[in-house]
Amino acid sequence: MTVRAMALNRLTSAVLALAALSGTRTVLAQCRFKNTTSSDAVTYRLSPEKTSAGMQLEIEMTFRVAAGVPAEVDIPSELISDLHLVGSKADLKDGPSGTKTITAPTSGLVSLSYSLRNGWTGPLVHPHEFQPVILSQYTELTGDKALVG
């Protein structure tokens, strides 16, 4: 089972809506579900950042891997960039289309970091209404369009 499948089994229709985010504030969100253990947890840390190109969201995802067992993560959008491992001896490689594979020499937690940005300019009208919205006034995301998993 992929990391995304584990997370989406628990968050099938979850929507993250973060209001009034400002420059350097970090937002932590965590959901606990009945019949899960901390070893099943997938944690996302969201940090808005102002850049010369506009607002973007820096996201760090942390989850547990088993030694030598490849973990496949789905990359849900072309709006995701700069995907890399943070402080880990694990290996990150391209997988089948739209995925990456992580293999670690030892069992434990690994963290992936990436940037997410808006993919358009102008008003939020069709067909942009289900895309990530990352503005200085607020941020709104759906997990299936913004969260690697």
Mean pLDDT of the 12-19 span:
36
What's the chain's average pLDDT? 79
Contact 102, 110 (CB under 8 A): yes
- Does pLDDT of 18 surpass 50? no
Domain spans in the chain, listed from the N-terminal domain onward: 3-144
Q: What pTM does this model have?
A: 0.76
User: Cα–Cα distance between 9 and 99 in angstroms, integer?
Assistant: 18
Bridge-based pairing of strands 15-19 and 80-86 is: unpaired
pLDDT score recorded for residue 19: 36
Torsion of CA 97, 64, 55, 19, to 10 degrees: 120
Q: Per-residue pLDDT tens for 82-114? A: 999 999 899 999 988 889 999 999 999 999 999
Closest listed residue to residue 73, CA positions, set 142, 140, 28, 8: 8
pLDDT score recorded for residue 147: 87
* Tokens found for residue 58: 């820096």
pLDDT score recorded for residue 49: 92
User: Cα–Cα distance between 144 and 135 in angstroms, integer?
Assistant: 19
The alpha carbon of residue 97 and the mean position of all alpha carbons in its chain are separated, in whole angstroms, by 18
